[in-house]
């Protein structure tokens, strides 16, 4: 009886060890996805405008990659306009205001 129980527990450990690599492989990607999915624009006035306007050519991750000073956001948005981004003057102002208020150094520093 004792011997049989010992054999069973060894068998279970062996099976568990054999399964570990497979579990780790399939377990990785949902974790990575969850981490990226959590990275999104802060909820504030004009979030939807920025979300729509700044994901026409690339993902929002590019925008979230690093905080920038308000001056730098003006440069970035001007650069996007130069790359062909269509924005009215009103939208330009609101986008720059949103980015400066929500994604600049003092408010949203590096994690």
Binding footprint of ligand HEC on the chain (CB under 6 A): 53-54, 56-58, 62-63, 76-77, 80, 83-85, 95, 99
Smallest distance from ligand HEC to CB 107, Å: 15
Q: Which of residues 27 and 93 has its CB atom nearest to ligand HEC in the complex?
A: 93
Burial class (CB in 10 A: 0-12, 13-18, 19+), 63: buried
Burial class (CB in 10 A: 0-12, 13-18, 19+), 91: middle
Smallest distance from ligand HEC to CB 43, Å: 17
């Amino acid at each position: 009886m004792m011997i049989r129980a010992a054999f069973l527990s060894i068998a279970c450990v062996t099976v568990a060890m054999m399964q570990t690599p497979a579990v780790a492989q399939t377990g990785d990607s949902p974790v990575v996805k969850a981490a990226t999915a959590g990275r999104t624009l802060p909820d504030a006035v004009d979030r939807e405008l920025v979300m729509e306007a700044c994901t026409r050519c690339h993902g929002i991750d590019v925008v979230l990659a690093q905080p920038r000073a308000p001056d730098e956001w003006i440069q970035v948005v001007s650069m996007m306009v130069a790359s062909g981004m269509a924005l009215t003057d009103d939208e330009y102002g609101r986008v720059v205001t949103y980015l400066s208020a929500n994604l600049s150094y003092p408010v949203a520093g590096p994690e």
